[in-house]
Amino acid sequence: NPRTTRSSENQSSGAAMDPLAVLRDYAARGDLDKIIFNGDDVLFGDDYTFPANAPTAFTSKQSGRPYPLSAAVFLAQHNDLKHTDFLQAARLRRIPPVSLPDRKTFLDFLHFGDSSLPSAEPLLPSSFAQDAHPPPPPPPPENEEGEGPDADDASTAHVRALERPLKDRNAVLDARGRDFLAIYHAALRREEDRLRNKDAAPSATGRHEPSAAAAASLANPKLDKSLGDGFVPIILVPSASQTLITIYNVRDFLEDFVFVPSDEKMRAMKGSPKPECVTLQKKHVRGAGGPVAFEVRDKPASLKADDWARVVAVFVLGKEWQFKDWPFKGHVDIFNKVIGFFVRFEDDSVDSAKVVKQWNVKIISISKNKRHQDRPAALEVWDRLDEFVRARS
């Protein structure tokens, strides 16, 4: 069910609002950067909200299945990428990628006035207007007595004529965005680590073992309080300057949705000491009744047992020494209790993420120059973090 429309006139008239028409209008005005992904929705500024998985009139030439709205919006916003980079970026965001033949067709429709799309009939429901109500169907024809087998057959044929299937057996079985092979390998690694830790002597591990209080706190990571009830979660960032997200610029990225290099923030501080802790507010929390506070720290050694129970996320550097003396038994244990993020520039070499791809972390790509792409990246961090915290709660 669609969420909102901009004009009450549209609602009162019952006119359906086509998301592709709205997307085309935003592209013509140069406002594509105002379209953001928010959970399961796509927000067109403050004007419209549509479900991200809503089927559109944009269909695949190969399979004949409609692309969801998320695929069309992502292509419109990232059509300047090479196709291989575009496919990788779409998969990282778990958005169905648009194939190369379909890509040109849609961009012609979006930018060059070609009003036709491969679909012969739009698959968008006409009920996107909030107050729109379709007229009642005409009564089925009756036989002379108005009943009997002929009347039933006519009614059935009338109902089937009005049906519009949105999924078939192939679409129902389609598990796009789910990497079952990665889940299988993660399970194998977890079992191997469990057996290794079970057989290894404490003196031979060379790893810092958690204190009794820390072990008790981490044995049951279930959160006793939900966000907004006085519980302040902790986000850890690396203290090294070579990482993109540090304690200097984390507020700009997660609170203001813009990436500012750490060296610029350090110069602006003009010699002021580095903050020990940064408190930031998550703005525009849907259904949370207001902003939610988070603490950001970069010195894990200063955390107490109760503090470790509040740690919900970490921005990883991609180096093993970042986790030295952490009260966990390895990467599998860490990223089962704490969600990890690795922020990289989208045109960095593959080797920059070679190590973290072996860990259960979320890779977030940002542009070096296109600052309007920072907002979707920051919102993806919040979306993933929300899902993780809800699962722990």
Residue 126 domain flag: no
Domain stops at, among 51, 85, 112: 112
**pLDDT number for residue 13:** 34
The domain of 307 spans 234-391
Residue 193 lies in a domain: no
Residue 177 is assigned to a structural domain of this protein:
no
For 354-386, write each residue's pLDDT tens digit: 788 888 899 999 998 999 999 999 999 998 988
The answer on 377 and 238 residing in a single domain is: yes
Positions in the chain whose pLDDT score sits under 70? 1-16, 112-155, 158, 161-162, 164-182, 198-230, 284-291, 350, 352, 393
- Kindly state whether residues 240 and 385 are assigned to the same domain: yes
With tokens 């004007």, the residue in question is 47
245/99 same-domain check: no
Q: In what order do the strands lie in the sheet with 292-297?
A: 277-282, 292-297, 234-236, 311-315, 339-345, 361-366
- C-alpha 352/C-alpha 345 separation (Å) is 9
Residue in this structure with the two tokens 């929705």, named with its chain if needed = 41
Tell me, what's the pLDDT at 177?
Answer: 55
Cα distance between residue 351 and residue 304, in whole Å: 35
| Total structural domains within the chain | 2
Burial of 112 (0-12, 13-18, 19+ CB in 10 A): exposed
Please say which residue of 47, 79, 112 terminates a domain.
112
Q: Cα separation of 34 and 23, whole Å?
A: 11
pLDDT attached to residue 269: 84
HEC profile of the chain: CCCECCCHHHHHHCCCCCHHHHHHHHHHHCCHHHEEEECCEEEECCCEEEECCCEEEEECCCCCCEEEHHHHHHHHHCCCCCHHHHHHHHHHCCCCCCCHHHHHHHHHHHHCCCCCCCCCCCCCCHHHCCCCCCCCCCCCCCCCCCCCHHHHHHHHHHHHHHCCCCCCHHHHHCCCCCCHHHHHHHHHHHHHHHHHHHHCCHHHHCCCCCCHHHHHHHHCCCCCCCECCCECCEEECCCCCCCCCCCCCHHHHHCCCCCCCHHHHHHHHCCCCCCCEEEEEECCCCCCCCCEEEEEECCHHHCCHHHHCCEEEEECCCCHHHHCCCCCCCHHHHHHHCEEEEEEECCCCHHHHCCHHHCCEEEEEECCCCHHHHHHHHHHHHHHHHHHHHHHC
In sequence order, which residues have a C-beta less than 8 Å from that of residue 196 and are 6 or more positions away? none
Neighbours of 45 (CB within 10 A): 14
Tell me, what's the pLDDT at 293? 83
Establish if 121 belongs to a structural domain: no
Bridge partners (DSSP) of residue 362 are 341
pLDDT digits (tens, 9 = 90+) for 288-320: 444 578 899 998 888 888 889 889 999 998 888
- CB contact set of 148 (below 8 Å; sequence gap of 6+): none
Residues 238 and 385 both lie in one domain:
yes
56 located within any domain: yes
Here the CATH number for the domain that contains residue 365 is 3.40.50.11990
Q: Compute the half-sphere exposure of residue 79: CA atoms within 13 Å on the CB side of its CA.
A: 18
Structure tokens at 239: 């203290």
The answer to whether residue 57 is domain-embedded is yes
Yes or no: say if 27 and 110 are a contact pair by the CB < 8 Å rule: yes
- 245, 382: one domain: yes
Tell me whether residue 51 is in a domain: yes
> Within a domain: residue 139?
no
Among 53, 84, 112, give the residue marking a domain's end: 112
Q: CA 373 → CA 78, 111, 368, distances in Å?
A: 9, 20, 10
